[in-house]
């Protein structure tokens, strides 16, 4: 294979059979269960990198069911997103993510810097309850429950939240093990078709785990619970801060 051919073909690993295709990445019938809760402010400050800033000690614990996603297939994801500000703009910082599909794990980490790890999340309906769970190996790490469609949510507020900027800490190591890339990345959800949004009573239980430490941001008080169904495109990112510059 000639040098020019390598340059033309190289966009992801492995060269001859990449773990995911080129974008754009469109998601159809993406379903969210989001429980917003108040946590320990000192522990929250310890995990949010500057220049991001925290206004309130809040965390959004999300379960996301993605049955139809371009190039990534059918999978489920869960994790913690922290409301932050950057240069006066409100957005969300993705602290951790756990999912069950190799393609979006590789693509999410390599392109944007999503903090994705392999685990076994689920989001399902159980009679009158929406249930989200996260298992890391045989251990149950998180359980979220919500009364199914008890009330209509404010669609304008939900859309604003979906379209707000999102921030990631992208780290790619050099061959000597040091950081070759360490950047704050901003991305957005695009072309959002909001099909419905609901509220209801919610509960969230987090259990300590050495390799899935979601309980390090403990639940002090549940603030709100939202169930969303939407189609959307995952926009590509841009670097807004280079930690190695």
Instruction: Identify the CA nearest to 184 among candidates 83, 23, 50, 25.
Output: 50
Bridge partners of 184? Answer: 169, 241
**In 64-154, which ranges are continuous DSSP H helix?**
102-107
Strands 221-234 and 189-199: antiparallel
Distance separating alpha carbons of residues 39 and 215, to the nearest angstrom: 10
3-state secondary structure of 183: strand
Q: Which residues contact 240 (CB under 8 A, 6 or more apart)?
A: 86, 167, 184, 185, 186
CA distance 158 to 14: 38
Helix (H) or strand (E) holding 159: helix 155-163
Separation of alpha carbons 59 and 62, rounded Å: 9
Known catalytic residues are 116
d(CA 218, CA 208): 10
């Amino acid at each position: 294979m000639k040098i020019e051919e390598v340059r033309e073909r190289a966009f992801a690993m492995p060269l001859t059979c990449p773990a995911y295709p080129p974008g754009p990445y469109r998601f159809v019938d993406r379903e969210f269960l989001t429980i917003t809760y108040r946590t320990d402010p000192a522990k929250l400050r310890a995990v949010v990198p500057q220049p991001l800033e925290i206004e309130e000690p809040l965390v959004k614990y999300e379960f996301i069911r993605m049955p139809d996603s371009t190039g990534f297939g059918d999978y489920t994801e869960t994790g913690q997103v922290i409301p932050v500000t950057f240069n006066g703009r409100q957005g969300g910082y993705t602290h951790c993510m756990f999912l069950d599909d190799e393609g979006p794990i590789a693509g999410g980490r390599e392109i944007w810097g999503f903090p994705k790890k392999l685990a076994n999340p689920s989001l399902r309906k159980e009679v009158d309850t929406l249930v989200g769970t996260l298992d890391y190996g045989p251990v149950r790490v998180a359980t979220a429950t919500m009364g199914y469609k008890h009330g209509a949510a404010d669609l304008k507020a939900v859309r604003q939240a979906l379209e707000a900027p999102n921030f990631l800490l992208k780290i790619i190591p050099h061959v000597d093990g040091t950081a070759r890339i360490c950047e704050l990345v901003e991305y957005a959800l695009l072309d959002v078709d909001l099909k419905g949004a609901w509220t209801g009573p919610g509960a969230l239980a987090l259990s300590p785990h050495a390799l899935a430490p979601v309980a390090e941001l403990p639940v002090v008080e549940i603030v709100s619970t939202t169930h969303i169904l939407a189609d959307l495109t995952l926009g590509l990112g841009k670097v807004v801060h280079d930690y190695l510059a």
